[in-house]
Amino acid sequence: MIIGVPKEIKTLENRVALVPVGAELLTQNNHEVYIEKNAGLGSGFTDEDYIAAGATILDTPKEIFAKAEMIMKVKEPLPQEYGLIRENQILFTYFHFAASRELTDGILKSKATAIAYETVESSDGSLPLLIPMSEVAGRMSIQEGARCLEKIHGGIGMLLGGVPGTEPATVVILGGGIVGVNAAKMAAGLGAQVYLLDLNLRRLRYLDDVMPKNVRTLMSNPENIRKCIQQADLVVGAVLIPGAKAPHLITRNMLSLMKPGSVIVDVAVDQGGCVETIHPTTHDNPTYEIDGVIHYGVANMPGAVPKTSTVALTNATLRYALDIANYGFPGCLKANPELIKGVNMINGKVTYKGVAEAFDLTYHAVNDLLS
Ligand SMILES: NC(=O)c1ccc[n+]([C@@H]2O[C@H](COP(=O)([O-])OP(=O)(O)OC[C@H]3O[C@@H](n4cnc5c(N)ncnc54)[C@H](O)[C@@H]3O)[C@@H](O)[C@H]2O)c1
């Protein structure tokens, strides 16, 4: 198979979808790998590293999209890329379709096969290609939240862990999955008082067992959320309903319950956000304020730490990319059934229920389209 890796063009996105050792493994399996010039630089990989691994460097995204049977990216294609995508080309990247009608329409129109990292699903229901970036974003949410709490950044002016003789900050985390747990560990490690809320009682029992003493678990319901956000200095949004839009757990009206100078880092912004007033922001202008509450809505948080994120991401994606390349599409779905749920679109048709529901589009089962 011919695999193409364009340079990411989202604002300040420095990750790359393939590291040199990934190119080496693909070429060893008799695939051709084309990398856009300087695509790996932001993550510390030079064109020479890729050439040594057997890849070929091309100057422009146009050449990459024109040549490749499979495009590997990190973030969703942007409007300026839609016109480059070809019918039946495989796009293997993060999409988060349910959060964007424009993206959904753009990729449907291209008639490409869209395999979304975020919905590839293991038999136990876990999302193996979301996990590494959720680990990074969860840990980063506390780092970023702590910075926003500083007075010079518009925050309440509080150190997350306090010092002896002072109160630590209160951190409320909505969702106790991968993002939530990683956020809780970091916040607890810094000495904050942490409340971790989830709907899943089994998950809460587990978290109660493994989390340190300064993390208290609570059932996620409107009453507990209202109580928690009144005390919160920092709220982290970390809920996920796979493939669907996030529920608004903090509505516009509820903002007035929060303290002036408190901070919301809504990591779930890529699925529409679990805070009604959140909208996507970028690393160069990450925050805005509503009703005195600082909102942080960067949708590609791991992009700020590309050296960590690229390696963490490609550690997880490479196995699946090899299966797609080795078995082709749809053969890869039989060889690796975890990829089936990853298929969000085939030839202009939506094949993921959450995406169809988000925009009232017709849903087609993957098997129906392929049989
Ligand atoms: N902004 C970024 O850069 C970035 C990076 C990585 C992940 N994310 C996003 O972060 C979000 C969380 O990802 P994750 O990997 O932790 O997902 P996850 O599936 O591991 O965890 C989600 C948790 O939310 C819980 N949940 C669902 N509805 C809830 C509710 N009403 N109240 C409380 N909890 C609820 C689930 O029970 C689950 O435990 C996703 O939207 C993901 O796309 C964003």
The domains located in the chain, with CATH, are: 2-111+306-370 (3.40.50.720), 131-304 (3.40.50.720)
The angle subtended at Cα 246 by Cα 161 and Cα 9, nearest 5°, is: 85
Tell me the average confidence (pLDDT) per consecutive run of 10 residues in the chain, 371 residues long: 97 93 98 98 97 98 98 97 97 94 98 97 94 96 98 97 97 98 98 98 97 98 98 97 87 97 96 95 95 96 94 97 98 97 97 96 95 81
Instruction: For a ligand 1 pocket test, name from 126, 264, 267, 309 the mutation site with the most ligand atoms within 8 angstroms of its C-beta.
Output: 267
> Would you state the pLDDT for residue 245?
85
Task: Report which ligand 1 atom has the smallest distance to the Cα of 298.
Answer: 1
Whether 28 contacts 55, CB under 8 Å: no
Cα 142 to ligand 1 centre (Å): 15
> Would you state the pLDDT for residue 270?
87
Going by alpha carbons, the residue nearest to atom 33 of ligand 1 is 198
> Would you state the pLDDT for residue 89?
98
pTM for this model (two decimals): 0.86
Task: Report which ligand 1 atom has the smallest distance to the Cα of 268.
Answer: 41
